[in-house]
Amino acid sequence: MDHETSRRWLIAERPIGRALSLDDFRMSTAPLPPVGDGQVKLRTLYLGFDPALKSWMENIAGYAEPTEIGGLMPGMGLGQVVESASPAFAPGDLALGLIGWQDIAVVDAGRLEPVPAGVPPTAALGVLGLTGRTAYFGLLEIGRPRPGDTLVVSGAAGAVGSVVGQIGKIAGCRVIGIAGGAEKCRWLTEELGFDAAVDYKAEKPRRRLRDLCPDGIDILFDNVGGEVLNDCLGRLAFGARVVICGGIARYNADPRDPDGMPAGPRNYFNVVFTQATIQGFLVHHFKDRYPVADRRLAEWLRRGDIRQGEDILHGFENAPLALMRLFEGANRGKQLLEIGAPA
Amino acid sequence: MDHETSRRWLIAERPIGRALSLDDFRMSTAPLPPVGDGQVKLRTLYLGFDPALKSWMENIAGYAEPTEIGGLMPGMGLGQVVESASPAFAPGDLALGLIGWQDIAVVDAGRLEPVPAGVPPTAALGVLGLTGRTAYFGLLEIGRPRPGDTLVVSGAAGAVGSVVGQIGKIAGCRVIGIAGGAEKCRWLTEELGFDAAVDYKAEKPRRRLRDLCPDGIDILFDNVGGEVLNDCLGRLAFGARVVICGGIARYNADPRDPDGMPAGPRNYFNVVFTQATIQGFLVHHFKDRYPVADRRLAEWLRRGDIRQGEDILHGFENAPLALMRLFEGANRGKQLLEIGAPA
């Protein structure tokens, strides 16, 4: 009985107020329970990673299910059904859910979704998952693009940013990405159709944006915060919309300490001169409308208007490293971990 | 010929990157030119003061008429016509305009407006001038109040803030002011009808706002920036609107140095959790609609729904001191300087 036990990554420490470390995770082996009524046994093929998982580990974000020290590390996974006691899934089916970091699991079928047909299965962890929905609602509902707008995306080579830029092109915008490194910038312009890319590691965004956006930035989609956000706020056009989606620089601050957060952007006051709007959002605010977003994103993916960028690490033992890559800006596109191939 | 010369305050230095000083101004006496066709001779009764005058002196704000070192200090004034070569004004009429800091002047009648009837004449420098319009458009167009909203106003005892709070009451909001000192706070609640006031000099706004706004802040009207803005951003309700109107803490920074501005609010990222909007404006963006605002503000003033707070200093020689009071938070309501009484 090969699969009577599962390997699982547990939370060893809460990484509050500091960067993640390998010591925050502990691998363990646990016997698999029998498959009860309404449950399935799922062999994990891929795990998907998102910066919010660090907040979940800290248990203080207030917008996620609580976690426990010594408890299973949460996370999205894509797996293949091995055994089923639910009419919803048959053995061999691919399924998706918040299954946590385990290589095989017995889970309630109600916590799983089928994987959409006609697209690569990993798209369900990216463009057709919360990543794509975040890009869709953030850009279209908060950013409100109009054809001809200049859209600047920070963290443009990340999972969300790379989709935002591609949706921006569909919406008729001129799209400029800000990313770290020549390779990422080339990827944005040559493979994803961005009009230009700024390598913030090699050039000053402030100066480059002045050349690239002579009429100012109409939409800024910010995944980063810090100096890049500040530089962009200095170049807003009249009536600009600034979408605050992420702030990778903030993840290592202690949210319980109101004075411990990094400084905000000095240039926030430019909204006075430009009558610009800075607005944030959480994707679950749009939950009722996920089906519409999913249908449109799937259609764009099938037509090739959007490509899913993937950065795939291999081996279950590397799950903590895969998560840590996000905070180092190491990933290009959606960070995934491949654990097995479908049978 | 008593009035053949006028006393005038000139700009001696540009106060860039520092606080105002008396040495930035120089008094001079100049002969009055004859009253030409289409001109009037106006004896100044009141000057009105606004923090933007410091930016005008610096000549780098980009949204005002240029000034010159050695040139007349700009500013709004209210005066009485002494002699007229224009059909628009007769001797004895009160008139208003950007006449600069001079005690008597010959000006083109086209640069003057009549003073509205039925209200105290100084209202034309406050509630019925740019001060009232700023409060009106900032709150109603950018803040978009709904009855039942909790409105927090920083710099609440200032010229704009005190009007914002009173318009908020007309709009059915619960209004909380933040001001410096018990006397100002008493004035807000006992004379202007604010529901509560926070004395930021005597108590921590962060703690007090937690008690006063258990359901969060729906609208924040910010005249101040700095720590008060940061504290308020930490208490936003879902869907809150933050109106950035002023930032008194920024006036002493050098706007030519992009790194020289004070830090922005650490809590800006709370817009993510609340889907809140931070938006700024300049009142002249609404220029086309001044007549509507002026009619409504005049009606509210006549009905007693709005009272104009005034802080009056006396004597032409005190004009620089009157302006400096704004940056010390010394004024309660609109800072005016009385120079003479109508004949």
From A253-257, B36-40, B85-89, B90-94, the region with the lowest mean pLDDT: A253-257
Burial class (CB in 10 A: 0-12, 13-18, 19+), B309: buried
Mean pLDDT of B282-298: 95
Is the domain of B163 the same as that of B298?
Answer: yes
Q: Which of residues 187-206 of B touch A (CB under 8 A)?
A: 206
Nearest to A264 among B142, B250, B263 (CB): B263
What is the model's pLDDT at position A61?
60
Question: Sign of dihedral through CA atoms A79, A84, A88, A93?
Answer: positive
Is the domain of B67 the same as that of B206?
Answer: no
Is residue A153, in this structure, part of any structural domain at all? yes
**Any A CB within 8 A of B265 CB:** yes
CA distance A290 to A283: 9
Q: How many domains does chain A have?
A: 2
CATH code of the domain containing A225: 3.40.50.720
Is residue A147, in this structure, part of any structural domain at all? yes
Backbone angles phi, psi at B116, to 5 degrees: -60, 145
Share the mean pLDDT of chain A. 94
Is the domain of B178 the same as that of B272?
Answer: yes
Nearest to B281 among A142, A275, A278 (CB): A275
Is residue B343, in this structure, part of any structural domain at all? no
What is the model's pLDDT at position B167?
98
Range of the domain at B26: 2-122+309-338
- Closest CA–CA distance from residue A270 to any residue of chain B (Å): 8
Interface test mutation site (partner A, options B279, B281, B285, max chain A beta carbons within 10 A):
B279
Count of other CB atoms within 10 angstroms of residue A176: 27
Nearest to A258 among B234, B247, B250 (CB): B234
Chain B residue at shortest CA distance from A280: B272
**Any B CB within 8 A of A284 CB:** no
Query: Does residue A165 register a pLDDT over 80?
Result: yes
Is the domain of A96 the same as that of A174?
Answer: no
Is the domain of B207 the same as that of B149?
Answer: yes
Is the domain of B291 the same as that of B143?
Answer: yes
Burial class (CB in 10 A: 0-12, 13-18, 19+), B141: middle
**Any B CB within 8 A of A264 CB:** yes
Is the domain of B108 the same as that of B177?
Answer: no
- A5-17 residue pLDDT tens: 999 999 999 999 9
Query: Does residue B19 register a pLDDT over 80?
Result: yes
Is the domain of A228 the same as that of A326?
Answer: no
CA distance A260 to A241: 28
CA distance B287 to B133: 9
Is residue A70, in this structure, part of any structural domain at all? yes
Query: Does residue A1 register a pLDDT over 60?
Result: no
Backbone angles phi, psi at A248, to 5 degrees: -55, -30
- A131-159 residue pLDDT tens: 999 999 999 999 999 999 999 999 999 99
Supply the pTM of this predicted model. Answer: 0.92
**Any B CB within 8 A of A268 CB:** yes
pLDDT band of B325, cuts 50, 70, 90: very high
Paired residues of A41 in beta bridges: A83, A106
Query: B95: closest CA among B83, B106, B109?
Result: B109
CATH code of the domain containing A84: 3.90.180.10
What is the model's pLDDT at position B76?
96
Is the domain of B98 the same as that of B147?
Answer: no
Mean pLDDT of A94-111: 96
Is residue A343, in this structure, part of any structural domain at all? no
Indicate if ipTM > 0.95. no
Is the domain of A282 the same as that of A136?
Answer: yes
Is residue B99, in this structure, part of any structural domain at all? yes
**Any B CB within 8 A of A252 CB:** no
- B173-221 residue pLDDT tens: 999 999 999 999 999 999 999 999 999 999 999 999 999 999 999 999 9
Give the number of C-alpha atoms closer than 13 A to the C-alpha of residue B130, restricted to the C-beta side: 18
Is the domain of A237 the same as that of A318?
Answer: no
Nearest to B264 among A263, A273, A275 (CB): A263
CA distance B327 to B248: 7
Is the domain of A142 the same as that of A285?
Answer: yes
pLDDT band of A62, cuts 50, 70, 90: low
Nearest to B258 among A234, A258, A259 (CB): A234
pLDDT band of B341, cuts 50, 70, 90: confident
Is residue B155, in this structure, part of any structural domain at all? yes
Share the mean pLDDT of chain B. 94
8 Å CB contact of B278 and A266: no
The string of DSSP codes covering A272-285 is HHHT-EEEE--GGG
**Any B CB within 8 A of A239 CB:** no
